[in-house]
Amino acid sequence: MLRTEELTKTFRSEEVETIALSKVNLAVEEGEFVSVMGPSGCGKTTLLNILGLLDSPTQGKYWLNGIEVSRLSELKRTRIRRGNIGFVFQSFNLIEELSVYHNVELPLLYMGVSSGERKRRVNEVLDQVKISHRKKNFPRQLSGGQQQRVAIARAVVSRPKLILADEPTGNLDSVNGEEIMSLLTQLNNDGTTIVMVTHSSADADKAHRIIQLFDGHIITERIKKAMQIG
């Protein structure tokens, strides 16, 4: 599904240079669920942003579905992202001015999906995450757990093969966190590849493999369970 070679990212301001990622070699197979852990500031979000084509590396290579994408223009990256990659963030990142329904519909509008098909798919995913009864509400009218369910619906409505989740349970209590984790696990069981950043070792345990980052380097990898093939 994806592979990086010596992926390096440095941020430069006037005085300081921060090495956020250093020579990261990572391969994720289709259908895999991988957790990324590590102390604050170790480069987890930077890694996810590069994997999600929201940012590009300073050095190194990145293959997504066999295509080397590290040097593509912003426009080409956006095109690849749409419909292929779904994002879930710690702070939900829903659009406050749009209803639940319209938040989830948005990715399909960008993709130019017909209105009938949009309606069908939005309702389907809202059912899937059990939030249909709230589709006319606005994000601020929902609890954190409900907002994250909407965010997951928005991430999956375009049926991406890859979901990138950055601390998806970070702002949730344990009951809501568990519900989000079971949604993600279900998506993975249905074949979606997931890379998830987390601070929770209980959440990380749901993955096939756990990667530990420290100071921008991969320190260790632990295999939790074999991936079910087919």
Partner 1 sequence: MRSICIPVKGISEGDIAEVEVRVLKSDLVWKYRLESFKLPNTGKSPSDTIKRIDSLRKLIKEYDQSWELIQILDTIEASEYVHILYRKKTKND
Ligand X SMILES: Nc1ncnc2c1ncn2[C@@H]1O[C@H](COP(=O)(O)OP(=O)(O)O)[C@@H](O)[C@H]1O
Which residues, 6 or more positions from 9, have their beta carbon under 8 angstroms from its beta carbon?
19, 20, 21, 43, 46, 50, 55, 57, 58, 216
- Indicate which of partner 1, Mg ion, ligand X, none lies near residue 43 (CB less than 5 to 8 Å, by partner kind): ligand X
Determine if 168 is a binding residue for partner 1 (CB under 8 A).
Answer: no
166 has which bridge partners? 89, 197
Residue 57 or 139: which CB sits closer to ligand X? 57
Chain residues in the site for ligand X (CB under 6 A): 11, 18, 20, 38, 40-46
Of 39-47, 107-115, 144-152, 176-184: span binding Mg ion (CB under 5 A): 39-47
Q: How far is the CB of 219 from ligand X (least distance, A)?
A: 13
Q: How far is the CB of 138 from ligand X (least distance, A)?
A: 29
Q: How far is the CB of 202 from partner 1 (least distance, A)?
A: 5
Taking the C-alpha atoms of residue 38 and residue 189, their distance in angstroms, rounded to an integer, is 25
Strands (E), the chain: 2-12, 17-28, 33-37, 59-64, 67-68, 85-89, 162-166, 193-197, 209-214, 217-223
Residue type at 56 in one-letter notation: S
Q: How far is the CB of 50 from partner 1 (least distance, A)?
A: 19
Residue 70 or 198: which CB sits closer to ligand X? 198
Residue number with the smallest Cβ distance to Mg ion: 45
Of 71, 120, 130, 214, the one binding partner 1 (CB under 8 A) is 214
Q: Reduce the secondary structure of 180-230 to three states and give it as a string.
A: HHHHHHHHHHCCCEEEEECCCHHHHCCCCEEEEEECCEEEEEEECCCCCCC
Helix (H) or strand (E) holding 82: none
Taking the C-alpha atoms of residue 88 and residue 149, their distance in angstroms, rounded to an integer, is 10
Determine if 228 is a binding residue for partner 1 (CB under 8 A).
Answer: no
Taking the C-alpha atoms of residue 154 and residue 49, their distance in angstroms, rounded to an integer, is 18
Of 4, 35, 45, 193, the one binding Mg ion (CB under 5 A) is 45
Residue 119 or 217: which CB sits closer to partner 1? 217
Interface with Mg ion (CB under 5 A): 44-45
Interface with partner 1 (CB under 8 A): 19, 22, 37-40, 174, 178, 200-202, 204, 212, 214-217, 219-220, 222
